[in-house]
Chains A and B, each alone.
Chain A
Amino acid sequence: MTDNMPRSIQSGPDLSAARIARRNRSERWFRQLGILAIGSALLMLAVLMTSITSKGYSAFWQTQIAINVNFASSDVLPTEKVNFRGLARRSIRALFPDVKSRRDKRALYKLFSNGIGYELRDAIQRDPSLLGQSKRIWVKASADTDMLVKGFIERAVKQSDRRLSDKQLTWFDRLEKDGRIAKRFNLTFFTQADSREPEQAGILGALIGSILTLSVTLLLVFPVGVAAAIYLEEFAPKNRWSDVIEVNINNLAAVPSIVFGLLGLAVLLNWVGLPRSTPIAGGVVLALMTLPTIIISSRSALKAVPPSIREAAIGMGASPLQTVSHHVLPLAMPGMMTGAIIGMAQALGETAPLLMIGMVAFIVDVPGGFTDAATVLPVQIFLWADAPERAFVEKTSAAIMVLVAFLIAMNLFAILMRKKFERRW
């Protein structure tokens, strides 16, 4: 009989101090492993955020150069047909009278943005009294100059490996010595759409595109999602059909987003004939994608309303639909809105399905309507991340900062709303 017993019972448990110390040690190890795991996850979050911020914060400033513009010269006066580009170039040459050859002149112009003609025109339009005066005006530097000022172009590097030649560097130094170089807030970044020239590129177009696309999404998905949730939670009989719908919604929530892009391409663009690259097509695709999220969160908001409310309403003679629309829905509304905001935040960060329906086009105009070609913020980030110029790296990071700021704002708003309207029953 004693032969079949485990050894520990035969001889009693091993209570030696050594074994207990070993067990306590492994306990500490295990615990520290947990802290290590959380620490490394949070560290990665911190690295991600710092890497983006440290690359991007400089994009909010833009180097500008002061030039003396003589608006009094004879050809400026009839404002409609002025060669502002020529005027700008003459003003630049006036700063460097010793630059004579055509090649050098061209190199000199490269220190400045090639859109400064428009800047002069805008200056005159803003302030017509400039006409006839000679005035010192700040204009944008080119992206290369900007990179030099921000320290991304090494002077020590061989001339052929550098974006700016030795000559351009000496001209730049002269400008700097004269106090003609300054870093100013980069308003262009917030007031312009995309451009091939980094110093003229901005996120306004993408931002408006995102707003238009998300409004289509919200208008479609919120009523439909809430209606579906009401039916499934309040009216649907518990049978196979509602099981099928439920399983289906759960699976749809886990379908990769790019598959919704394929659906949009095959059905919405090629079959229904919605116009390519437009907020309306993008909005519909994102609506289909966020629909399960909205339904699931709306259902849990409805579930949180206690049955006593429904019973009270029914007891007072309300019909089931009146019960829902007069009592349950208003009480569940804050929860539903919170879910909707979180769903919209998810849609705002989505890129892949929009690539499929052609929202990756290079678009210079700010979209004005739902059927204009447009791009959205994450796609703009994707496009800039692909651009070869060094200056676009900081633009990309800055656009990411704007996007993340929007997401944080939306989520904070959702959390605050939940806090404010949350009811404990």
Chain B
Amino acid sequence: MHNLIFTALILIFLLAIYHYGRRFSLLTVNHNRQDLHSLPGYYGLYLVFWFIGPAVAALIIWLLLEPPIIMGLLSESLTLSFQAAPDDVMREVRLLASNAFALKSATPEKVLLVNRYQELQALGNGIRAVLVLGGGVLGVVYARRFLSPEMRARQSVERFIKVLLILCSVIAIFTTIGIVLSLLFEAIRFFHKVSPAEFLFGLHWSPQTALRADQVGASGAFGAVPVFAGTFLITIIAMCVSIPIGLMSAIYLAEYATPRIRNWVKPSLEILAGVPTVVYGFFAALTVAPFIRGLGEQVGIAVASESALAAGLVMGIMIIPFISSLSDDIINAVPQSLRDGAYAMGSTKSETIRQVVLPAALPGIVGSILLAVSRAIGETMIVVMAAGLAAKLTANPLEAVTTVTVQIVTLLVGDQEFDSAKTLAAFALGLMLFFITLALNVVALIVVRKYREKYD
């Protein structure tokens, strides 16, 4: 609430500064606008940016300084009774401060500490507000001296805006760097506990670590081969469904369908891509899996209730539109002259498609299939809801297997301490997942791009 009021206050402040700058510049030339270098609004904006710049700088500096300062002040009031690692105490205090319910059952010393923490935080908020406002006002006071009719206010303002635009476009790069670094950092911590060779080539996966030290058979095994095998099994099943259907749909839409049919069918297929994956998961777990099991029972084959087949089938349905719409574009990009040439030689339409159009479009189609594979490997909700938890090294689609994404979710959902091999393993799996999908995408994009250059 305070933050909201503060933000509103700042906004009003900015508006006032804008008007001040505008009027000030007009007054310096006695309202003869043509004597000003820039439009009067730019002088207002100039001051506004001189407010925002220092204010944001002050805010960032304070946000960096605040935790250690509060920490230092708080550690003075730490009594001897808990001289645990300060970091742990801080984390607990922060947790208690945000959870009134847990606070009720905390020890009086801790309550005292939490109260002190909250006091300090309130103080910190006050200081932050003063710093932000003060920094901004100082900036404005400093910049006001530059305002003159000859000043090139528009250029300065535009330079500032361009810097902002660049910052925004670099955020995507920072996100990638953030993903790589955070995954790498946690994965390296994991590889300190478990050797990379064991992780990459081990055949046994059971990440549940022992609750008691002497518990038998729960040492935690981190051989990821069965997990990846399960992922690939489900992906292959999904591809067996989606490649024929997606490709044939694309061919029909691109070569045979009348524009009217195309206008109806294409959006309908794209609905399949818009359905949330959690819906597919529910469908797989509650409709498809029991159906397949019932079918198996009638034929006399035992089918696991969380069979890879059910998850793979439904995932295949989800992937169809990715393959069909990408392949459709690529088939349409094949120049008409190739088809005309084939017709002139007397070939039928299907012969033209099979012997001329498809070979010409093949690289692009392969690219679209690779993109679809990377989508299938990274898909989470369908397999979380419809595939199994136990890692099993099998190629039988009727058995339950587990996948990388299922393991990440099961390892990380729920509260747990953040330094056990179990939770860190999720980051190692995430790192592998990231690099596999990245490699597939890069290859797919290169293939598609190379192909495009050939005909343009």
What is A's interface to B at a CB cutoff of 8 Å?
A: 13, 23-24, 26-27, 29-31, 33-38, 40-42, 44-45, 47-48, 51-52, 55, 223-225, 227-228, 230-232, 235-236, 244-245, 247-252, 254-260, 262-263, 265-267, 270, 273, 275, 288, 291-292, 295, 319-321, 345, 348-352, 355-356, 358, 360, 378-379, 381-382, 385-386, 393, 396-397, 400, 403-404, 407, 411
Contact = CB atoms under 8 A, between A and B. Distances in A.
A33 B378 CA distance: 30
Interface string B424-451: 0011001001100110011001000000
Interface string B32-47: 0000000000000000
Interface string B405-423: 1001100110000100000
Nearest to B277: A351
A254 B185 contact: no
Interface string B168-197: 111111011011001101100000000000
Interface stretch (B10-18, B129-137, B251-259, B387-395): B251-259
A270 to B, nearest CB: 7
B430 A259 contact: yes
Nearest to A28: B350
A236 B169 contact: yes
Contacts of A33: 248
B219 interface: no
Contacts of A352: 277, 380-381, 384, 405, 409
Contact of A259 (B171, B274, B324, B433): B433
Contact of B251 (A34, A230, A403, A404): A34
B343 interface: no
A228 B164 CA distance: 9
Contacts of B442: 251
A56 to B, nearest CB: 10
Contacts of B348: 23-24, 26-27
Given A27-B350, A48-B275, A258 B248 contact: no
- Specify the main secondary structure of chain B where it touches its partner: helix
A166 B374 CA distance: 54
B278 interface: yes
Contacts of B306: none
B297 interface: no
Interface string B225-254: 000000000000000000011111101110
Contacts of A252: 172, 175-176
Pick from B158, B173, B381, B413 the residue with the most CB of A within 10 Å: B381
B31 interface: no
B281 A385 contact: yes
B121 interface: no
Contact of A381 (B173, B282, B320, B430): B282
A41 B320 contact: yes
Contact of B94 (A42, A55, A262, A273): A273
Given A41-B320, A351-B276, A255 B438 contact: yes
B351 A23 contact: yes
Nearest to A397: B282
A407 B378 contact: no
A266 B268 contact: no
B216 interface: no
Contact of A228 (B169, B377, B426, B445): B169
A370 B375 CA distance: 31
A403 B379 CA distance: 20
Nearest to A270: B418
B317 A349 contact: no
A401 to B, nearest CB: 10
B24 interface: no
B172 A262 contact: no
B162 A34 contact: no
A379 B385 CA distance: 12
Given A31-B252, A37-B246, A263-B183, 4 more contacts: A245-B172, A256-B437, A275-B98, A321-B158
A252 B169 CA distance: 13
Given A45-B272, A275-B98, A38 B265 contact: yes
A259 B265 contact: no
Given A256-B437, A291-B175, A227 B185 contact: no
Contacts of B277: 349, 351-352
Contacts of B161: 321
B426 to A, nearest CB: 7
A411 B378 CA distance: 25
Contact of B283 (A38, A48, A382): A48
Contacts of B176: 248, 251-252
A400 B286 contact: no
Contact of B279 (A258, A265, A381): A381
B144 interface: no
A393 B408 contact: no
A256 B405 contact: yes
A45 B434 CA distance: 30
Contacts of A320: 158
A42 B268 contact: yes
B433 A404 contact: no
A378 B172 contact: no
A267 B274 contact: no
